[in-house]
Structure 1
Amino acid sequence: MPRDHIEWTPSPGTSTDQPRQVRRILSLFKPYRARLAVVGLLVGASSLVSVATPFLLKETLDVAIPQGRTGLLSLLALGMILSAVLNSVFGVLQTLISTTVGQRVMHDLRTAVYGRLQRMSLAFFTRTRTGEVQSRIANDIGGMQATVTSTATSLVSNLTSVVATIIAMIALDWRLTVVSLLLLPVFVWISRRVGNERKKITTQRQKQMAAMAATVTESLSVSGILLGRTMGRSDSLTRSFAEESEQLVGLEVRASMAGRWRMAVITIVMAAMPAVIYWTAGLALQLGGPGVSIGTLVAFVSLQQGLFRPAVSLLATGVQIQTSLALFQRIFEYLDLPVDITERAEPVHLDEVKGEVRFEDVTFGYDDKGGPVLDGIDITVPAGSGLALVGATGAGKSTLGYLVPRLYDVTGGRVTLDGVDVRDLDFDTLARAVGVVSQETYLFHASVAENLRFAKPEATDEELYAAARAAQIHDHIVSLSDGYDTVVGERGHRFSGGEKQRLAIARTILRDPPVLILDEATSALDTRTEHAVQKAIDALSADRTTLTIAHRLSTVRGADQIAVLDRGRVVERGTHEELLARDGRYAALVRRDARLEPTS
């Protein structure tokens, strides 16, 4: 599959600086402040309960057991058991709430990205690989699951535990606390270095995953399989995928091992700290310093061990957050994509559309680098009449038709519907008013009825049958074993080209738009199938404003007016007979078609 494509890069206004990005991430949790407050309370309560246990242990060893106070010993033991129970209950509730909040945030992100992409113009999708888009939604947002569901809670929980534990350690013995915390700044510095390293690797890994997703989407679709098999490229495609997968293996290993030895050193040092504490306490006693009771020493080591887990987890969480910033940045890039097809703040709504379409000095270009695709187009299409657009490939026919439903927006002049600039209409009016039937029919992997009802979800069975009859496809559908419940297959490959085209026409008939764009709807069909589809198109076009983008001129002879385009300009306009009489560009095209028509 071709690999060349254009990737969107952040504009100067895009949020790529880390502080702003962190603030933006935190803003995702604002709608769930109340639930997060409850999590905070549970975290605080859990930390206090955890810190209380070593003090209970100290009293047990220094007072209850040496003095033989059985009642106090029973209360202290009961307190330890209750502490364990409360910690478990708080942990379960904390996990439930934080996971729910995290999943809601992921849902919000997925929906926001999908909604943003739905608003993008057709130009964005013509230059972006489908697999790349899918990877952002699936892999990038999926990769953030640990961050948004548990990392934030883990950060608060571990930070609270660390602070509470250090305070308790100071209360027990400040000298031992100083010894325990001497290396903490070094550990923080190491974890930050590891986090930055993993962030860079994660960015590369996600790009590689997006490339693999694009390859899978393109080469394992029905069209991709057909192309690969018929071109004898199945083995080479497999080798290409294996190479991409091999690159991903290397990145995954690097991501997993980045900083692993440095973090292992931290773990070893922290695990060795109890021995250092025992040595320090023994040395102080031998040097004649103030002694430390057995209970205090055991309680301190217990606190230190309790500090070890959240401290290491806190450092690991910091690394995880830095890694996740790469994923958030990729998602924010899509959320920051400039939307060039927008609805006015106070758009015009038309309850009834007659269907008059006007192109007034229309100019259009895809970007500033290339020249205009359309230049100075002035055409009026009265309501209920038909306009045919003909010309050589690349003349701008399809682009001109796509300006009416605002798949693109003009760069100069305007397109009006019933005298209203289409840019001033609300999207609902425009969607109801303009229907498009293109050469490349798209059908969902669903039943025939579901595909038809995509145009009108509330349509009754009788309305489906009527639309299918008008499109000359009803008899074929009912002849199938499952009738209207027949699943059409991926992109409708269970149906022939003519059948898919008539299903698309039936879908448009069901929607009943007053303006119809026919974009070379029969150009890929054989003569016999074209004749059947043309009957359906004639039924669809009746009493509608119709713009027909024609490849075969035999289909446009009955149009009310024909416009010949050449390099984005209208060079001739009139009826079929008028243009033939002029013996100009249109007459030459007709003679070309006559020579190409098969003789039998």
Structure 2
Amino acid sequence: MNLALAARSRRLLWSLVRPYRVRAVAAVLLVIVDNTTMVAVPLFVARGLDTGVRNALGGNWIPLLLAVAGVTGCALLGGITTFAFVRISGRLSQNVLFDLRMRVFEHVQRLSIAFHENYTSGKIVARLTSDLESLEDLLDRALNDALSAVLSVLTIAVVLVWLDVPLALVVLAGFVPLVYVTRWAQRHQRAGYRRTRGAIAKVVVHFVEVMAGIRAVHAFRREERNETLLAQEDSIYCAANTSALRGMATYIGWARLIQNVSTVLILVFGAWRVIHGHTEIGVLAAFLLYLRQFYGPVDELAQVFNSYQSAAAALERVSGVLEEQPSVPEPAQPRALDRPRGELCFQNVGFEYPARRTQAEEGEGQPIPVLPTFSLTIPAGQIVALVGATGAGKSTLAKLVARFYDPSRGSVLLDGVDLREISDVRLRRAVTLVTQESYLFSGSVADNIRLGKPEATDAQVHAAARAVGLHDFAMSLPEGFATDVRKRGGRLSAGQRQLVAFARVFLADPAVIVLDEATSSLDIPGERQVQHALETVLRDRTAVIIAHRLSTVAIADRVLVLDSGRVIEDGTPADLMAGTGHFATLHTAWRESLV
């Protein structure tokens, strides 16, 4: 399983880097040149000590000056290549992160409602923030350090063998215990960073939920309780981070110990070889300089290793989100639906909610049955009200009409065409869902109305507002239709937000409108205003209305009473009120509640 996750993460990373592979190759070449200049400096120092100084004593300064020029040239070239690399790698990393951020955002938007009902918005925020920050740290700094370190180790190892084989074997012997330490750290740190990514996601989820429900927090004095819950989640995150950092500290400690022991051995053994004439003093000096460059990258690799483990765990979770597939897929060959009339037909439809966790999590639940098999036809232009107790299946029926879910059995047809055969773009033009939330985005009143038809002119926006009774209010605002409604439409009342939503629907001009508790949160005056707008919006359209308030049902041509997913009554409002069934009892209780 872990190998599969790692392979999936590598595929994702390669797919992100592939469009910029020319720039990546240029960055690698710059690192190679920079590494070459760094490795060449001790060689020039050894040449200067062994040949340059000896010739200078005899009056020939040219070899020493050439050695100095070599060191100076390497320093200048190294500075230039470092500058160029930082510029190129910086642009590369930001392009990759931009592409990944957009890919996740676009993909999540296109996933079905089932995904969003299982995968909280806080987790998505964590994927786009803390997880991408881990990847940014790896791309901005760690990959450069890693590539430089690996090249340094390889090239220096070759040079050391070329300079003095016995001394080189002493240095390379230190890599035997270092390999074991590295493998141990890899196993422990990867597991630790997986825990940190899961823990920080829970912290973000809790924070987002509290901020989204801040009114309820204040109303019920939940501050201390929320602080306690956050402290619990945050302590788990801190513990996971501490465990991962403890593994890194162990790795660095052992690496430093191996480096120091190797330095002592080289100093002692190298001095012995110089004294006995087996090597030159310049070679020993070069070895000591190389030793720092040889083991110095090990410390860098430890930091890189730390960043890599964190980024790898983050990539696993991000790639898990990108692996998710819509449970309501687009048809491979969509059927045309140019002028929908609005006839709805449920043919042997049954439905169970797939109560599972997403692929980015572990484990699956059991399906939750909601609608037993039934059939129903709603003629074009008919207004149907769905009535029943909470959990009767009303909202589920509405979601099937809007194709937020596909039925587990049977088919839902629009004008004789299975919804699964209609492209999403055409279906959204034909069927519109309006909820009690009436969600408004930050922006002007006109922009929120134009959501129903982005290409609409100002005249069309004003006409839609006038049709639902919103025009005069909008014009009374400080900047008219250009007034910012603020976050979630906070500048408007619930009734005014609902009118904006109706104007949006009127402008979209769908064949079918589904209203899910559209007036349940309104007061009596607000409901009357919205009710008048509702009659305008629903005129000559097929409508499915879910309502607990029976005043909304009065405009319906037909009432369906649901109980446990079954239609137990079907008729006009007048016929059902005149009877002795469930709807008549509900209507009587509602009338008495108004007295």
TM-score, length-scaled by structure 1? 0.91
Within 2, Cα distance between the matches of 1:587 and 1:15?
62
Which residue of the other structure, out of 524, 538, 541, is the alignment partner of 2:538? 541
Within 2, Cα distance between the matches of 1:504 and 1:556?
19
Within 1, Cα distance between the matches of 2:555 and 2:237?
58
User: What do the CA deviations read for 1:544-573 (whole angstroms, capped 9, x no partner)?
Assistant: 211111222222233232222221112222
Is structure 2 residue 263 aligned with structure 1 residue 266? Answer: no
Is structure 2 residue 291 aligned with structure 1 residue 291? Answer: no
**Structure 1 counterpart of 2:217:** 228
- Alignment-mate amino acid for residue 307 of structure 1: F
**Structure 1 counterpart of 2:352:** 365
Within 1, Cα distance between the matches of 2:507 and 2:11?
48
User: What do the CA deviations read for 1:383-405 (whole angstroms, capped 9, x no partner)?
Assistant: 22222222222111111111122
- Alignment-mate amino acid for residue 351 of structure 2: F
Q: Please give the secondary structure, in 2, of the residue aligned with 1:378.
A: strand
Q: Please give the secondary structure, in 2, of the residue aligned with 1:571.
A: strand
Shift of 1:27: 4.2
Within 2, Cα distance between the matches of 1:128 and 1:299?
58
- Alignment-mate amino acid for residue 122 of structure 1: I
Q: 1:88 to 1:349 in 2, by over 3 A?
A: farther
Q: Please give the secondary structure, in 1, of the residue aligned with 2:369.
A: coil
Shift of 1:519: 1.1
Q: 1:220 to 1:318 in 2, by over 3 A?
A: closer
8 Å contact kept, 1:15–1:21: no
8 Å contact kept, 2:107–2:322: yes
Is structure 2 residue 409 aligned with structure 1 residue 420? Answer: no
Within 1, Cα distance between the matches of 2:575 and 2:188?
72
Within 2, Cα distance between the matches of 1:191 and 1:316?
12
User: What do the CA deviations read for 1:90-128 (whole angstroms, capped 9, x no partner)?
Assistant: 122222222322222222322232233223322332233
Within 2, Cα distance between the matches of 1:231 and 1:511?
40
Within 1, Cα distance between the matches of 2:66 and 2:103?
54
Gaps of 5+ in 2: 356-365
- Alignment-mate amino acid for residue 43 of structure 1: V
Which residue of the other structure, out of 477, 480, 485, is the alignment partner of 1:480? 477
Within 2, Cα distance between the matches of 1:450 and 1:271?
67
- Alignment-mate amino acid for residue 419 of structure 2: V
Q: How does 1:225-264 map to 2 (within 5 A)?
A: 225-264=214-253
Within 2, Cα distance between the matches of 1:262 and 1:447?
56
Deviates more, 1:57-66 or 1:123-132: 123-132
Shift of 1:21: 4.2
Which residue of the other structure, out of 308, 311, 314, is the alignment partner of 1:327? 314
Within 1, Cα distance between the matches of 2:141 and 2:451?
39
Q: Please give the secondary structure, in 2, of the residue aligned with 1:416.
A: strand
Which residue of the other structure, out of 45, 49, 55, is the alignment partner of 1:57? 45
Is structure 2 residue 367 aligned with structure 1 residue 399? Answer: no
Q: Please give the secondary structure, in 2, of the residue aligned with 1:384.
A: coil
Within 2, Cα distance between the matches of 1:246 and 1:425?
49
Q: Please give the secondary structure, in 1, of the residue aligned with 2:205.
A: helix
Within 2, Cα distance between the matches of 1:37 and 1:285?
43
Q: Please give the secondary structure, in 2, of the residue aligned with 1:345.
A: coil
Within 2, Cα distance between the matches of 1:279 and 1:319?
34
Aligned length, in residue pairs? 582
Q: 1:255 to 1:445 in 2, by over 3 A?
A: farther
**Structure 2 counterpart of 1:200:** 191
Within 2, Cα distance between the matches of 1:267 and 1:140?
30
Q: 1:374 to 1:318 in 2, by over 3 A?
A: same
**Structure 2 counterpart of 1:508:** 505
User: What do the CA deviations read for 1:401-451 (whole angstroms, capped 9, x no partner)?
Assistant: 111221111111111112111111111101111111111221223332332
Which residue of the other structure, out of 426, 429, 432, is the alignment partner of 1:432? 429
Which residue of the other structure, out of 556, 573, 577, is the alignment partner of 1:576? 573
Q: 1:298 to 1:486 in 2, by over 3 A?
A: same
Is structure 2 residue 138 aligned with structure 1 residue 147? Answer: yes
User: What do the CA deviations read for 1:229-259 (whole angstroms, capped 9, x no partner)?
Assistant: 2212223323433443344344444433334
**Structure 1 counterpart of 2:362:** none
Q: How does 1:83-94 map to 2 (within 5 A)?
A: 83-94=74-85
Q: Please give the secondary structure, in 1, of the residue aligned with 2:327.
A: coil
TM-score, length-scaled by structure 2? 0.91
- Alignment-mate amino acid for residue 544 of structure 1: R
- Alignment-mate amino acid for residue 71 of structure 1: I
8 Å contact kept, 1:443–1:491: yes
Within 2, Cα distance between the matches of 1:254 and 1:482?
56
Deviates more, 1:114-123 or 1:502-511: 114-123
Within 2, Cα distance between the matches of 1:316 and 1:43?
18
User: What do the CA deviations read for 1:353-411 (whole angstroms, capped 9, x no partner)?
Assistant: 22222211211111384553122332222222222222222111111111122111111
**Structure 2 counterpart of 1:211:** 202
Is structure 2 residue 510 aligned with structure 1 residue 519? Answer: no
**Structure 2 counterpart of 1:282:** 271
Within 2, Cα distance between the matches of 1:158 and 1:123?
46
Shift of 1:343: 0.6
Q: 1:486 to 1:255 in 2, by over 3 A?
A: farther
Q: 1:21 to 1:240 in 2, by over 3 A?
A: closer
8 Å contact kept, 1:100–1:149: no
Shift of 1:498: 0.9
Which residue of the other structure, out of 356, 368, 384, is the alignment partner of 2:343? 356
8 Å contact kept, 2:342–2:380: yes
- Percent identity for Structure 1 against Structure 2: 34
Gaps of 5+ in 1: 1-11
**Structure 1 counterpart of 2:291:** 304
Q: 1:21 to 1:515 in 2, by over 3 A?
A: same
8 Å contact kept, 1:60–1:73: yes
Which residue of the other structure, out of 528, 539, 542, is the alignment partner of 1:531? 528
Q: Please give the secondary structure, in 2, of the residue aligned with 1:521.
A: coil
Is structure 2 residue 28 aligned with structure 1 residue 31? Answer: no
**Structure 2 counterpart of 1:464:** 461
Deviates more, 1:46-55 or 1:419-428: 46-55
Within 2, Cα distance between the matches of 1:444 and 1:215?
23
Q: Please give the secondary structure, in 2, of the residue aligned with 1:436.
A: strand
User: What do the CA deviations read for 1:459-508 (whole angstroms, capped 9, x no partner)?
Assistant: 32222222222222222222222333333233223322111111111122
- Alignment-mate amino acid for residue 230 of structure 2: F
Within 2, Cα distance between the matches of 1:23 and 1:337?
15
Shift of 1:33: 2.0
Q: Please give the secondary structure, in 1, of the residue aligned with 2:405.
A: coil
Q: 1:336 to 1:23 in 2, by over 3 A?
A: closer
Within 1, Cα distance between the matches of 2:487 and 2:254?
53
Deviates more, 1:502-511 or 1:94-103: 94-103
Q: 1:182 to 1:131 in 2, by over 3 A?
A: same
8 Å contact kept, 2:347–2:410: yes
8 Å contact kept, 2:475–2:481: yes
Q: How does 1:109-124 map to 2 (within 5 A)?
A: 109-124=100-115
Q: 1:400 to 1:409 in 2, by over 3 A?
A: same
User: What do the CA deviations read for 1:19-70 (whole angstroms, capped 9, x no partner)?
Assistant: 5544554444222222222122222222222222222222211222211222
- Alignment-mate amino acid for residue 420 of structure 1: V
**Structure 2 counterpart of 1:160:** 151
